[in-house]
Amino acid sequence: MSFWFWHGLKKGVRSTHYPREFESAAGVSPGRPVATEFDSAAEAVVAAANCPADAIVARGSAAEVKLERCIYCQHCHYGNSHLLEWHSDYEWTMAVPGRGKYQPLPTAYHRSLHVIVVDAGDCGACLHEVKQLNNPLYNMHRLGIFLTATPRAADVLLVVGPVSENMRVPLLKTYEAMPAPKRILAVGACAINGGVFGRTFMSAGGVASVLPVDLLVPGDPPPPLAILHGLLAVTGRKSPVLQAASSEGNS
Amino acid sequence: MIDPWIGGALALFFILCACGVVLTAATRGVYPLRALLVFSSACSVLMMFASAAALASGHSFAIDLWSLEGWGRFSIRLDMLSAIFLFAAGLVYLPASLFVRNLVEVRFRGRYPMRRYGVLHFALMASVVLILVANDAPLFLISWECMSVLCYFLVNYEQSARTDIRAGYIMLVMSEAGFLAALVAFLILGRGTPDWSFSSLAGMAQHLSGSAVWGVFLLGFLGFGVKAGLVPVNFWLPRSYTAAPAVFVPVFAGVTLNLGFYGILRLDAQLMSNHSVGTGLFALVTGSITALVGILYATTENDLKKMLAHSSIENAGIIVAAVGASLVFHASGHAVAAAIALTAALYHMVNHSVYKTLLFQGVGEVEAATGTREMDRLGGLARLLPGLSVVFLVGCLSISAIPPFNGFVSEWLTLQCLLRSAVLLSSAVKVLFALCGACLALTAALAVTCFVKVYAMSFLGIRRGDWRHGPGQAGRTQFPLAYLAVACLLLGILPTYVIPVLNRAVEPLAGASAAASLVPPFFSATPENQQLPPAFVDDFHNLGAQTGRHVLPGRGLVVLVRGSEKNPVVFAMSTSYSFVALAIFLLVTWFVATRGSRQRSVTRHELWAGGIPRLLPEMTYTATGFSNPVRVVFQAIFRPNIVEDSRETVAVHFRTAILRRRDETHFVDRLLFHPVGEAVGWLARLLAGMHHGRLNAYVAYTLAFLLIILVLFRLS
Amino acid sequence: MTAMGSSQLTPLQRIELEAVAAAVQAQFGSGISVERGSRGVALAIRLNEANVLAALSKALFWDIGCSFGGLIVEELSDRWRLSYLFLASGSGWIEVVLEVPAAVQAVPSISAEVHAADWFERETEDLFGLRFEGHPRLGDFILHDQIWPEGVAPHRKPQRRSVNVHQMHFRRRPNPDWRPLLVVQDPGSFAMPVGPVYEGGIGESLHFMLETVGEDVLRAVPRLFYKFRAVEKIAEGQQVSDVLLLAERFAATSSFAHSLAFSLAVERICALEVPKRAANLRVLLAELERLRHHAGAITGICESTALAVAASQAAIIEERLLRASCEFAGHRYLFGLNTPGGLRRDFVSRDFENLTGAVDRAVEDLHVLEDRLHFTSSFLDRLEDVGVVDPSKARDLNLVGPVGRASGRGHDLRRECPYGGYDGYTFETPREAEGDGYARLRVLFQEGYASAGLIHQAVERMEPGPVAAPCDSFVAGAALGWAEAPIGSALHWIRLDGSGVVERYRAITASFNNWLGFHAAVEDFAFQDFPIILATFGLSATECDR
């Protein structure tokens, strides 16, 4: 139908200018809790105890945040005493500790990065946010990032979900089928350490226990722009911003 | 002179055949097989030698054998047309003979009743040669009858199943019917002739009335068409090809099928040169329909052997369509066009013999290695039989008319001929030509589908069936197949050397030379060259052909057809140059791919199948699935009969089984064979009603019959 | 078009509990004992003997006309407790309770009578090892036979009670000889495997076997549970607040509905009175989630027909609603809001203004989109008569949610069995009779508009007050909570001990119900229609797999 063409044109360009400019529209990101200074060490301990995911650590009078563990229960955001400060950004891709400095893909991949997404038991949110990257508001094609259906053509394995037992073999097969060089991006708290599902007989407790993860995108779910930041970090167009706490990542 | 050589070769041929019969019948153990191998190969070499000598010299060899008072005389004559057919027969008899040995050793581990087979083999060989060199109707017909009966014995040679015997009977009945039709045709033609030699028959043909011409033409066309597999008299063919033993099928398809064309050409083209446009159109339309029906059934057939049988029907259709086009051009006075069409027909005939023999041998070997011919159960043969897969691929490419192999040249020429209908005057004829051209183009496209399916389903993918045998001694069987594959390639890239040879047979039939127009010496052509018409040379000058004079070597390595006067377009195709270009391209690609880039590492991974544990055979395309679109599009022709369509179910979401079986009756069977069979059965039942055993009734029949005779005599 | 469709619809009928009780008592007499239900259940029917189960289920489902809700299996210390839920339209839940000693290994199957119970029984057999006599095909369901050996029953209580779910270990034995069970026996038929990694990876992990003989697909068999994470087992032994996090996160696209159903169940156990403001806020948030979900489902349908501009427009609507949710509640998928007793935070009137503004804009855009789609014949051609589930099949397989409503079902828990704050709200539940892809699309649009209307009503009815009743102490007991999630009914059943530790958690989801019904839509269809059927069903694998 021809009117769709005009309808589409009439709407104009809606895409964000990220990464050229910081996208500041309301609601693009839920933000993140950041380290907060309390009056006393006891208060910091209370703040840490509020967190059901052990993502807050009291260090002196400060409550520090291990974002990679955060499941966005919002307990440190409202509805409690001893709340933490929240920053409304989204650039929080992390390198995996203990694996040395992250080696980005060569520059040839800057404008042509093919991503295969494997849903390894995801709750649907992370997957949905990855899918949002295809919509006109984010439009990751403009950055030369494409989703592909076959691992044969993929450079990046983007995994969401804690790796359910029944998905373990398909995930391994996907990784094996990819040509080198390849990178693994674990997106979401579940993919990083199992999240609320943890490590059980049905969940491997994160991608790292199955495959060598290169970069982490914390969040539950991370907003589309955080995932985009992660994908840009894969090729070195952005650098991983946060450093995960050293006890994490290889659990 | 060349005569003693040809005569000697033919005499030696018959002597060797006789020796072969005696030796295979008289010896035991491995010797019959060896005798067959040695004598049969020698015989085929002699066939090729005799025909090549005749073709090379351009001299027909003729000799009277003996004469009988009142019966005329038996004479043989190896003219150019015979020589072409004889050469083609020799060309495929050689690998077929070697293949017999190999197949018997691999598949039957030497335990094959060779003695009786050897007798039949040599007898058939002799009768084929006799048919081809016969110069008078009696010898020709007697040899033909011998050949038919021998074919029947050979088809039923491994008679085990009931259906096989039935297939042989149907073939025998059809052959006899065809023989009778041909006999009547000769009788009409030779009414009042002093002797029954072909030359005097040709003389008699000039005096035939229009209806008699039609009668002789149709009787001959359909009579010999039985052997050639033309619609509607071909229903015996898929059955008997499937039933025939693997050792015989290559000969069956590569040699005896051609005899049908030989009969049609001898009787309808050579003996009767005064036919009308109508007879030619009849042949053209019949051929086109045959081709389309043949390829449709070939595409949907999953039994390799049956599929090749249907494909033979298709090729027969193409050849007869080209012959028909030639007759039309001839009758309307376009001798050159007629010559080109006939060249295309003969070329395709030779090509078909070569690649069909190759493919049937390949199928024989597949069956020997796996025990099945069902494409739905094969798959992954390329790993099991790598050598065979290469030569079989050559066969598939050739039959699908893919350059640079031979099928391309002849099909291209055939289609070009049909496009030349612009020279014809009647617009109705032009429309028919266009329709037949479209029909043949569709056939060519379906042929590609068909053989993509054959190769992909049998040789590629993963192994589907649980086969009985392991791989046989695959190495030894390669020679005959490789020989045929090389022949396919050479016939494909050297048409300019083949066409002048064919032209020797075509020229007397069509009354003009095709070589000058198909293979013009235009690179060396000067305005003074009388061999080419000046207008023709001008065309090429305008096209800049002369500029290539110093660059491109050789005498016209270009197969081309010139456009009409108004439209001086030149259809040119050089398969040899394109082959060279293709080879260079592939070599460069290979070189660049392997050497050109640095640090290439090749890693092999398991097939990607969406992450499932293992791709199972039941998850890959079946042959039925691949050809189903064709089946659906041409449903009106196939008319599948749903035998079973049931669903076993617990609940709507919970099917335990969906059963569906279809039964397809062949188009010709449905329209002709079954109704005729029923009519005959009805008549027989009616007559059987008279035989009730009462004596007085029989006396009454006799009386009534006498009365009728008397009345008739009285009236006349 | 809606009017045309509704003319063929059978009117919805209210089923009175008294009539049900009288009918079953008359039929089964001493075999059963009927009593008033409690904690979410309106009527409880206890079986005194197991052999009347099938007949009773048949009477409830087919004769009386109840819908099937699901099966809750519980392994108590000395016995199995099987609770079959039936929904009496307009009156509430009927529970058929069968208790058998722990040593019993098999109970009668009802799936021959109530087809919708089929998967529930297969699920129970796989996870608890409890066999169902008469079921035609058990095994290879949740625990895929290519990985898991027979005899593993992970949801059984461990021998030592101290072992928690993170310490449990089961033997896995990959079975290389595993072959899919194929039903088409046409010579030359084959199965096209699709998944579990497919569709550019944005699809959820699903696996289908498309059985075909070329051209048309005769049957598609979905193979699910690739994403099974044993949510119900993980919940055992955890505190309510931790299980709430799980309930919220196992199916994020309808996370608010699930956390709501969970909270309602806990509130029923602890007899908490939810403040009026919280009830209204819950309606508002649940409807916001529904609107956003339906916008996403519409995007998926447009994508499946390759109508790129429409898909983009719908995706923009969806993303705007996600942003509005984030701006309003702090999370794009509304995590961290529900708590037993109410909500964890309050909102101010400016928040409501922003939200209603965004919702109005979304509705306006949806209207524009719908109008254009109605005039795109190439789009409608691909949806009409595709993946048809006629009303009788929908009833047979107990389809719920928008998919069920597109096949003439009236199953909407907000109306049939009101919960939370839905009393007094006025809204339309669209129904269509055709049961094809287009009917499902129309239902999605209509429900989206209805949700926007409910959001406005909720804002208007907002009254000042607290947003949560304090939930300090727990009592032992079990209760049922339910909510009409965007995909369909969500049932959460919880048994607590006195200290607030969950002993058994059961989540029955709409997707689990509807994946079974999906089978009815994927028979004899053209291969290229498969993604469209899949998109119009809009089912979630994660919600089904749990």
Q: Which long-range contacts (CB under 8 A, 24 or more apart) does C161-168 make?
A: C164/C237, C165/A200, C165/A201, C165/C230, C165/C233, C165/C234, C165/C236, C165/C237, C166/A198, C166/A199, C166/A200, C168/A200, C168/A201, C168/C233
Averaged over B645-666, what is the pLDDT? 71
For B611, nearest residue in chain A (alpha carbons): A170
Interface of A with B in 172-211 (CB under 8 A): 173-174, 176-177, 179-180
Average pLDDT, chain C: 85
The pLDDT of residue B526 is 53
Pair B197, B73: CB distance under 8 Å: yes
The pLDDT of residue B584 is 94
Q: Which two tokens stand for residue B34?
A: 């060896």
Res C372 pLDDT > 60: yes
Mutate to test the interface with B, among C62, C135, C173, C183 (most CBs of B within 10 A): C183
The pLDDT of residue B558 is 62
Specify the 3-state DSSP secondary structure of B76.
Answer: strand
The pLDDT of residue C4 is 42
CA-wise closest residue to A122 among A213, A188, A72, A183: A188
Higher pLDDT, B191 or B68: B191
Peptide bond between residue A181 and the one before it cis (omega within 30 degrees of 0)? yes
CA-wise closest residue to C334 among C373, C284, C265, C297: C284
pLDDT digits (tens, 9 = 90+) for B582-622: 899 999 998 888 776 666 677 788 888 888 878 888 888 88
The pLDDT of residue B90 is 92
Binary contact (C185, B627; C-beta < 8 A):
no
Res B649 pLDDT > 90: no
The pLDDT of residue B32 is 81
Res A245 pLDDT > 60: no
User: For B625, which of C188, C397, C523 is closest by C-beta distance?
Assistant: C188
Facing residues of B59 across strands? none
Q: Rounded distance, CA B631 to CA B626, Å?
A: 10
User: For B605, which of A170, A171, A176 is closest by C-beta distance?
Assistant: A176
Pair A178, A158: CB distance under 8 Å: no
The pLDDT of residue B566 is 58
pLDDT digits (tens, 9 = 90+) for A148-185: 888 888 899 999 989 988 888 889 888 988 888 889 99
CATH homologous superfamily for the domain C12-180: NADH:ubiquinone oxidoreductase Nqo5 subunit (3.30.460.80)
Q: Class assignment of domain C231-545?
A: mainly alpha
Q: What burial letters (b/e) apply to B531-540, b meaning 16+ CB within 10 Å?
A: ebeeebbebb
Averaged over C61-82, what is the pLDDT? 87
Q: Rounded distance, CA B580 to CA B599, Å?
A: 30
Which region among B656-660, C98-102, C107-111 has the lowest average model confidence (pLDDT)? B656-660
Res B483 pLDDT > 80: yes
H or E segment and range at residue C108:
strand C106-108
* Confidence category of residue A249, pLDDT binned at 50, 70, 90: very low
Which chain A residues contact residue C313 at CB under 8 A? 7-8, 11
Looking at CA atoms only, how far is residue C254 from chain A in angstroms? 9
Averaged over B129-134, what is the pLDDT? 91
Q: Could you state, in order of their start, the residue ranges of all structural domains in chain C?
A: 12-180, 190-223, 231-545
Facing residues of C75 across strands? C80
Q: Which two tokens stand for residue A150?
A: 């076959």
The pLDDT of residue C3 is 40
Q: Rounded distance, CA B457 to CA B381, Å?
A: 9
Q: Rounded distance, CA C541 to CA C511, Å?
A: 7
Q: Rounded distance, CA B132 to CA B129, Å?
A: 5
* Confidence category of residue B396, pLDDT binned at 50, 70, 90: very high
Neighbours of B479 (CB within 10 A): 13
Q: What percent of chain B has pLDDT over 70?
A: 86
Q: Rounded distance, CA B455 to CA B392, Å?
A: 8
Binary contact (A74, C336; C-beta < 8 A):
yes
CA distances from B676 to B155, B164, B418, B670, C450 (A): 24, 21, 35, 10, 71
Neighbours of C185 (CB within 10 A): 15
Higher pLDDT, B14 or B694: B14
Res B455 pLDDT > 90: yes
Which chain A residues contact residue C307 at CB under 8 A? 4
Mutate to test the interface with C, among A115, A118, A132, A165 (most CBs of C within 10 A): A165
A40 touches chain B (CB under 8 A): no
Res B573 pLDDT > 80: no
DSSP state of B61: E
Q: Which amino acid is at B86?
A: L
CA distances from C397 to B188, B203, C65, C96, C393 (A): 77, 85, 13, 19, 6
Specify the 3-state DSSP secondary structure of A122.
Answer: coil
Backbone angles phi and psi of B475, in degrees to 5: -60, -35
Binary contact (A170, B606; C-beta < 8 A):
no
For chain A, the chains sharing at least 3 beta-carbon pairs closer than 8 angstroms are: B, C
Res B207 pLDDT > 70: yes
Facing residues of C73 across strands? C82
Q: Which amino acid is at B334?
A: H
Higher pLDDT, B363 or B109: B363
Angle at C42 between CA C132 and CA C286, to 5 degrees: 95
Q: Which amino acid is at C319?
A: E
The pLDDT of residue B588 is 93
B553 touches chain A (CB under 8 A): no
Beta-strand relationship, B641-651 and B570-573: unpaired
Q: Which long-range contacts (CB under 8 A, 24 or more apart) does B437-440 make?
A: B439/B288, B439/B289, B439/B291, B439/B292, B440/B288, B440/B291, B440/B318, B440/B321, B440/B411, B440/B414, B440/B415
B390 touches chain C (CB under 8 A): no
In the numeric block, the tokens 């524009």 are attached to C368
Res A88 pLDDT > 60: yes
Binary contact (A167, C345; C-beta < 8 A):
no
Q: Which two tokens stand for residue C256?
A: 């608010």
Averaged over B366-384, what is the pLDDT? 83
Which region among B219-223, B539-543, B665-669, C113-117 has the lowest average model confidence (pLDDT)? B539-543
Pair B661, C186: CB distance under 8 Å: yes
Instruction: Give the burial class of B394: count Cβ atoms within 10 A of its Cβ; 0-12 exposed, 13-18 middle, 19 or more buried.
Output: buried
Q: Rounded distance, CA B207 to CA B209, Å?
A: 6
Average pLDDT, chain A: 85
In the numeric block, the tokens 């006195």 are attached to C498
Residues 6+ apart with CB under 8 A from B149: B172
Which region among B106-110, B438-442, C415-419 has the lowest average model confidence (pLDDT)? B106-110
CA-wise closest residue to A227 among A72, A90, A32, A74: A90
For A118, nearest residue in chain B (alpha carbons): B611
Which chain C residues contact residue A163 at CB under 8 A? none
Q: Rounded distance, CA C155 to CA C101, Å?
A: 17
Q: Rounded distance, CA B522 to CA B557, Å?
A: 10
Q: Could you state, in order of their start, the residue ranges of all structural domains in chain B?
A: 1-205, 531-573, 621-663, 669-715
B611 touches chain A (CB under 8 A): yes
CA-wise closest residue to C287 among C260, C317, C248: C260
The pLDDT of residue B541 is 62
Pair C420, C282: CB distance under 8 Å: yes
Which chain C residues contact residue A54 at CB under 8 A? none
Q: Which amino acid is at C272?
A: L
Residues 6+ apart with CB under 8 A from B384: B369, B370, B463, B471
Higher pLDDT, B585 or C521: B585
The pLDDT of residue A250 is 38
Q: Could you state, in order of their start, the residue ranges of all structural domains in chain A?
A: 32-87, 94-243
The pLDDT of residue B89 is 92
Q: Rounded distance, CA C480 to CA C474, Å?
A: 16
User: For A201, which of C170, C241, C376 is closest by C-beta distance?
Assistant: C170
Q: Rounded distance, CA A125 to CA C326, Å?
A: 13
Average pLDDT, chain B: 82
Looking at CA atoms only, how far is residue B611 from chain A in angstroms? 4
Averaged over B613-632, what is the pLDDT? 84
Count of residues making up chain B:
716
CA distances from B703 to B695, B696, B697, B706, B714 (A): 13, 10, 10, 5, 16
pLDDT digits (tens, 9 = 90+) for C191-206: 888 878 876 556 788 8
Looking at CA atoms only, how far is residue B299 from chain C in angstroms? 14
Neighbours of B512 (CB within 10 A): 21
The pLDDT of residue B571 is 65
Q: Rounded distance, CA A169 to CA A173, Å?
A: 6
Q: Which fold has domain A94-243?
A: Rossmann fold (3.40.50)
Averaged over C509-515, what is the pLDDT? 89
A141 touches chain B (CB under 8 A): no
Binary contact (C344, A74; C-beta < 8 A):
yes
Facing residues of A203 across strands? A164, A200
Which region among A64-73, B654-663, C238-247, C388-397 has the lowest average model confidence (pLDDT)? B654-663
The number of CA neighbours under 13 Å toward the Cβ of C511 is 20
A149 touches chain B (CB under 8 A): no
* Confidence category of residue B70, pLDDT binned at 50, 70, 90: low
* Confidence category of residue A242, pLDDT binned at 50, 70, 90: low
User: For C197, which of B611, B620, B625 is closest by C-beta distance?
Assistant: B611
Facing residues of C41 across strands? C93
CA distances from B31 to B40, B473, C230 (A): 13, 20, 75
Res A94 pLDDT > 50: yes
ipTM: 0.89
* Confidence category of residue B69, pLDDT binned at 50, 70, 90: low
B646 touches chain C (CB under 8 A): no
Higher pLDDT, C42 or C164: C42
Q: Provide the sign of the torsion angle of the four alpha carbons B476, B481, B485, B490, taken in this order.
A: positive
Res B20 pLDDT > 80: yes
Res B108 pLDDT > 70: no
Which chain C residues contact residue A125 at CB under 8 A? 249, 252-253, 255, 332-333
Q: Rounded distance, CA C317 to CA C374, Å?
A: 18
Say what the alpha-carbon torsion angle C532, C535, C536, C540 is, to the nearest 10 degrees: 150
C238 touches chain A (CB under 8 A): no
The pLDDT of residue B65 is 77
H or E segment and range at residue C506:
strand C502-508
